[in-house]
């Protein structure tokens, strides 16, 4: 856990792809070794038993680390999405920061569908076009989800073929 993994392929926007498995929201490293100033975040978690304050602390940390697009998936992902939006608003009001962060939640999608969206549809605001050159897929407290994310990210060509064959 907590090992940042880099993948050989790039996503649909030419961004470098990374994944990270966390035991819980508090186990986020103090610093991420991503090669770019900004990144898109895919977050897979079961937040049903996690209070808003914990999610908001995590959101603050990843926003400060450079997250400018957030896709949430898993149980209670709409609330997690809303917590990210609340933190963004607080930063804009309290710290006079203009973030223009984009966010989506994917409660009706499978893990594959939501992750695919993050890689091929989640485009940050134009102001980050030159600096949002990474996507980070994070799974929290679920080894099965982490394994699925890693399997999909390790072979994008096969994954895309699987998606096209289902159509």
**Three-state SS sequence of 45-113:** CCCCCCCHHHHHHHHHHHHHHCEEEEEEECCCHHHHHHHHHHHHHHHHHHCCCCCCCEEEECCCCCHHH
Whole-angstrom Cα distance, residue 47 to residue 45? 6
CA triple 29-119-129, angle to 5 deg: 85
Tell me: pLDDT of 163 over 80.
no
Please state the pTM of the whole predicted model.
Answer: 0.94
DSSP 131: T
Residue 52 has pLDDT above 60, yes or no: yes
- Please report which confidence band the pLDDT of residue 9 belongs to, taking 50, 70 and 90 as the band edges: very high
Q: Say if residues 151 and 112 touch (Cβ distance below 8 Å).
A: no
Average pLDDT over residues 127-150: 96
Higher pLDDT, 94 or 59: 59
Question: Do the bridges between strand 5-10 and strand 67-73 make them parallel or antiparallel, or are there none, so unpaired?
Answer: unpaired
CB atoms within 10 A of CB 60: 16
pLDDT of residue 161: 86
Average pLDDT estimate for 21-43: 95
Q: In what order do the strands lie in the sheet with 102-105?
A: 5-10, 16-22, 132-140, 38-44, 67-73, 102-105
Average pLDDT, the chain: 94
| Residue 167: per-residue pLDDT | 56
Q: Domains in the chain, please, with CATH?
A: 5-166 (3.90.190.20)
């Amino acid at each position: 856990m907590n090992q940042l993994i880099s993948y050989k392929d790039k996503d649909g926007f030419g961004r470098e792809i990374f994944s990270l498995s966390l035991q819980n929201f508090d186990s986020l490293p103090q610093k991420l070794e991503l090669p770019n100033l900004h990144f898109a975040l895919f977050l897979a978690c079961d937040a049903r038993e996690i209070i808003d304050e914990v999610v908001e602390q995590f959101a603050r940390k990843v926003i400060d680390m450079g997250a400018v697009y957030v896709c949430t998936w898993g149980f209670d992902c709409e609330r997690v999405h809303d917590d990210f939006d609340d933190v963004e608003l607080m930063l804009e009001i309290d710290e006079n920061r203009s973030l223009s962060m984009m966010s989506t939640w994917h409660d009706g999608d499978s893990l594959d569908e939501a992750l695919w969206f993050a890689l091929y549809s989640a485009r940050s605001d134009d102001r980050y076009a030159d600096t949002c050159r990474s996507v980070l897929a994070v799974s929290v407290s679920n080894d099965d989800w982490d394994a699925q994310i890693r399997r999909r990210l390790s072979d994008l060509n096969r994954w895309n073929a699987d998606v096209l064959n289902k159509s």
